[in-house]
Structure 1
């Protein structure tokens, strides 16, 4: 039983799915957990940390992920957490269904070889990568002439109608990538609990997207225009999603842009969060955090005012910009992308912990996959966070856990039945205590050097090579880029040619299992001896 009192204190789970980072990239320079126990990290790989490896290319000290680190030190550091997936196509299935179908496992590999179908893995099948007619400068591609798709000028509804042709359930067909045991929201529906989705398995189109079609030019960063049309690509999500949220789109901020970041540095009274009600009109617009907090503020105000508990039992959010755009012209550096993603999770925890919902809400954060990122243990080891008032303070969790373990823990928190054999038999994450710590959390602003917000406008030959390499990648969907190429560009963006990126580490599964069993035996012996 993961709850010391025998019963879950939680009525709500907020589940945040991020993109692609390995454990060592973020936590590699955390030598110890909050309780002083030694952690297993490699600081030389921590390019998104706060040590030597995270310095800007010009040598300036930076703190890229202060919130992830502060949250891990207070609420628990999992240094043996591994993602089940290899890339986003199977990653978003593992993260929402505790499973990836045979079709998904085989087909996404064809996509990487550029011999497969289009992105089939999040509720759409055979959706073309459409572009407007005539010559166009497509995202990260040279100008090409494409056949007409829309009559110009087009409208948001016309774009949505076109996309709906490729949503199986809207056309009387079954999604070829859908697992038989379905998804977390289906489990919530079966359990009779409320749920809401912010960007997962939702098709979204922004005002800038429509304008890009009409002017026949790709949109530019940042896209803070409103979401003008959105629809669910799964029937059970109809009426259960935020229509103003945003799916994967590296042009849309998770919370802030380099301009809003600089504005906040220039004045302590400026809130860098891009949202519709930002007092600074320059910073009003759409971001993933901004659309979530707009709804959450209403839930919190209603509960404070005695109007009841309207927050859904299960909220699923997509905060995806730690994927980064490599070294794309006109888009932020990888370190800034990861930093703004970190600030988004920090602000979300700040909002929840300062609300009436802190007493009965648990927040779970993971990466859908680690995308073969550098890590000295294994390329699947990845940062995960479990945050609540009931966490064991500063714990180091060295037992083996994975994506399905985290899903099982969420299910137990709010009374969902397992979706399949895998989550039914997963070991939940024993991180909770029966004594709550109600202190709120205050988000920390990342520190990114001002000369490291965008790639240089006049690159040298080596930089130009990685900019060109990034430009050859497909960044319109999560993880359709060549992972070796994107990881190389990310590494070069920080290290330049000072150090070679470590090779991909693989830890055999049986070693992990044996290691986990040894840790469990040690834990049982300590308990038998009456030790804490």
Structure 2
């Protein structure tokens, strides 16, 4: 922490960070009391007021300057040559914003129409032509750069970068030279840099660069291109797998974990020889390339930030630096390392690494989460402005002293920053703006953007006078206040929870963490009278009407989730819990403690087609909506798994992280749920501690089958005494995702899948509550995202259930909580330090616990056989549903499928 930032902390307090997120606050009188850092919105709901908001993670956003509401998830920002307009690029649209009052916004195409179309999907690159009358942008998936005439809204030119035998190109970031004659673009999936003649549309040059080139910038003389590469590996096809046999020839589980000798060199798995991925820290991986444009040669390959396996603070780094944005001065190059929260300074001539500037948050210096996304230099090259997506702020850096001068408050996920030609104004685009607000409920006025949480949400564009002096100091103090506040621990809780212990000595020794799919709070619990909900939105509750798609089958009154409600009656739930993500490809990272980096967020919102058998190697690494954390996604400290392993905490996993990209999911794949086409790894700790018989996400497999496999593992591993029951067990229970009706398999309604899921949850709690570990167990149940429904409080509000002898009976927690809160709760109970800033300063859900346990076991409620028949569901698996023995699948969460579901509802 710099002295300037340290002075912004309250002068009356001396704050010392201890191992468990504990702060010892010493007053001037010398009285010490245990205090923890939590977001300022702990006792509020997610809400939007004017141009300020309390976010779903409890942090506040108070964007500085003039704040304009724009479309969400803009990944491209360009300022017109006359400085009068900004262009914002989203996956399916462009907004052109007047920067002078009244700040009109024009959308291409107009909302509600697909004509004129912009193409099949954009990515990041966007640029005004020198005359400001047209815009260049990428029709990314088609390997094209398009030119849009702003007056007519017509596409007036199409440039195809497939050239010289190159196919399956994908246009990522690009730069237009000052004279408007040349485009310099990255082809993200063919791992190359191309230069294109604008007039002829011809590719003049193609240069192989590193893996998954992400951003490109030109030197001031435009003779050199600098390219950042965020890819870690080039993933191979499974030998012998073809488009025709992939459903049977692929392997059922990843062949190796990273890091390991097998992952590097290859191994034999399921009788097949699986190629390795090569070494970590390969020159092409997580690197910056310098390209001489005259010769078309790569002249330097540079690793920035911290290499994988380097020691930093008290951990060995797990994720690569993820070098993203670039700013090139006359003699310096500045690279943002998203994973490390640093800016690497390079000598532009020699490529020598001169310095690393740490983007610290006062009080959280050893934890990552600032997430630098884009960088820009002031016109006089004296200041560097950094959009810090994780901090919801823009950092201001003095490039001469390499010190952080302070922060400018921005919106949620500040992704892009630009500066005016006179250096007097900043333009800041925040991808998530002020959040989504509600998407249903009494008095809700549909704004017509769609009800999906990512669509109803708006971004923000700020016009801010460049800050100096007191303005910058005040803004920095505001950013800190928006991020955390100190809370004194109540005396009773200080005794019963491990705020000051190196190891928790309390009653809870085992945690079972269950993640389900896509439901909002209102859908399941909106009817509950003791909580904040919308009864009319409780479409998956009790006594509801369900009907088949054709309307021929109707149940006028049926209980869809009897076990969820019986468990809520007995144990504790929250009516103020929110998912940090709005769809699964980011949600499945958040639920294992991985905040999505720039690569994940941009790809999650883009329309990208995987072509695993095509010639472009990067097309094999298209994650889509798969529930996996790939090496490109790793945070510096890793995920939940690495955190547990480095501290020696035993765990076991059922289905988390194993739904790999480019896999096939069918009913026949019952042993793990998938057949892998491409060899992706698991994180090594997860690989070593995961069930090989429990199916991951696959809607053709009943949750009842998953429970059977869980019970088999329970008997053979732990009840047998072969192994000790782990401190943490993680389980995916995905069938509340819902899919199309299959009456012949016991699913006559879409809601039948939720009934299957409800019964499975009831079985799980019954089985565990009758076990010998029940007395010291906590079961946490949540959803990965809320995109499958609507909610009257916020589109991100979802389910959180806390099931244990040690929670208050029938309690509804009003405390604002998020995924970071779930990580913090688990780490607190397991005696672990924080993993990153999002759990280190998250709300601790400590209001639900009781010091008077009730160890009465739970007995599951049966499903209504008219809605879900377990016997029919089991028939294809040659099994029978043993109730008395208890003491055409679609890919996961295609957001367009979710949008159609919301429209149908």
TM-score bin, normalised by smaller chain: 0.5 to 0.7
Unaligned stretches of 5+ residues in structure 2: 1-488, 498-504, 871-887
Mapping of 1:49-198 within 5 angstroms?
A: 49-53=541-545, 58-110=554-606, 114-115=607-608, 126-127=619-620, 175-198=631-654
Which has the higher mean CA deviation after the structures are superposed, 414-423 or 232-241? 232-241
Contact 1:81 1:401 in 2 (8 A): yes
Once the two structures are superposed, residues 68-90 of structure 1 have per-residue CA deviations (whole angstroms, 9 ceiling, x without a partner) of 11111211131111111110000
Deviation at 1:229, TM superposition (A): 7.9
**Which among 247, 263, 266 is matched to residue 696 of structure 2?**
247
CA distance in 2, matches of 1:222, 1:330: 16
Change (3 A) 1:203 1:403: closer
Give the greater-gyration-radius structure (CA).
Answer: 2
Deviation at 1:251, TM superposition (A): 0.6
Change (3 A) 1:3 1:321: farther
**Which among 527, 543, 554 is matched to residue 29 of structure 1?**
527
Aligned to 1:10: 508
Aligned to 2:468: none
Deviation at 1:17, TM superposition (A): 0.9
CA distance in 1, matches of 2:699, 2:691: 19
Once the two structures are superposed, residues 282-337 of structure 1 have per-residue CA deviations (whole angstroms, 9 ceiling, x without a partner) of xxxxx2211111111245534xxxx5871111111111111111457977332110
Matched, 1:294 2:712: yes
Aligned to 1:400: 816
Deviation at 1:416, TM superposition (A): 2.5
Contact 2:610 2:622 in 1 (8 A): no
Deviation at 1:117, TM superposition (A): 5.2
Contact 1:14 1:314 in 2 (8 A): yes
Give RMSD over aligned pairs.
Answer: 3.4
Deviation at 1:390, TM superposition (A): 0.3
Aligned to 1:515: none
CA distance in 2, matches of 1:401, 1:485: 29
CA distance in 2, matches of 1:324, 1:330: 16
Once the two structures are superposed, residues 184-242 of structure 1 have per-residue CA deviations (whole angstroms, 9 ceiling, x without a partner) of 1111001101111111122589xx97xxxxxxxx95x5865677989952222232110
Matched, 1:445 2:862: yes
Matched, 1:482 2:900: no
The TM-score normalised by the length of structure 2 is 0.38
Contact 1:90 1:105 in 2 (8 A): yes
Mapping of 1:382-461 within 5 angstroms?
A: 382-430=798-846, 431-447=848-864, 449=866
The TM-score normalised by the length of structure 1 is 0.63
Change (3 A) 1:362 1:299: farther
Q: Give the match's secondary structure for 2:778.
A: strand
CA distance in 1, matches of 2:508, 2:771: 15
Change (3 A) 1:308 1:5: farther
**Which among 321, 338, 349 is matched to residue 735 of structure 2?**
321
Contact 1:48 1:65 in 2 (8 A): yes
Deviation at 1:348, TM superposition (A): 0.7
Change (3 A) 1:40 1:4: farther
Aligned to 1:456: none
Aligned to 1:171: none
**Which among 521, 530, 533 is matched to residue 41 of structure 1?**
533
Contact 2:582 2:787 in 1 (8 A): yes
Once the two structures are superposed, residues 444-490 of structure 1 have per-residue CA deviations (whole angstroms, 9 ceiling, x without a partner) of 1122535999xxxxxxxxxxxxxxxxx9xx9223445432113334x
**Which among 195, 199, 202 is matched to residue 658 of structure 2?**
202
CA distance in 1, matches of 2:868, 2:715: 35
Change (3 A) 1:447 1:299: same
Once the two structures are superposed, residues 116-163 of structure 1 have per-residue CA deviations (whole angstroms, 9 ceiling, x without a partner) of 6589xxxx9744799xxxxxxxxxxxxxxxxxxxxxxxxxxxxxxxx9
Change (3 A) 1:192 1:225: closer
Deviation at 1:100, TM superposition (A): 1.7
Which has the higher mean CA deviation after the structures are superposed, 385-394 or 442-451? 442-451
Q: How many aligned positions are there? A: 372
Q: Which has the higher contact order (CA 8 A, sep 6+)?
A: 1
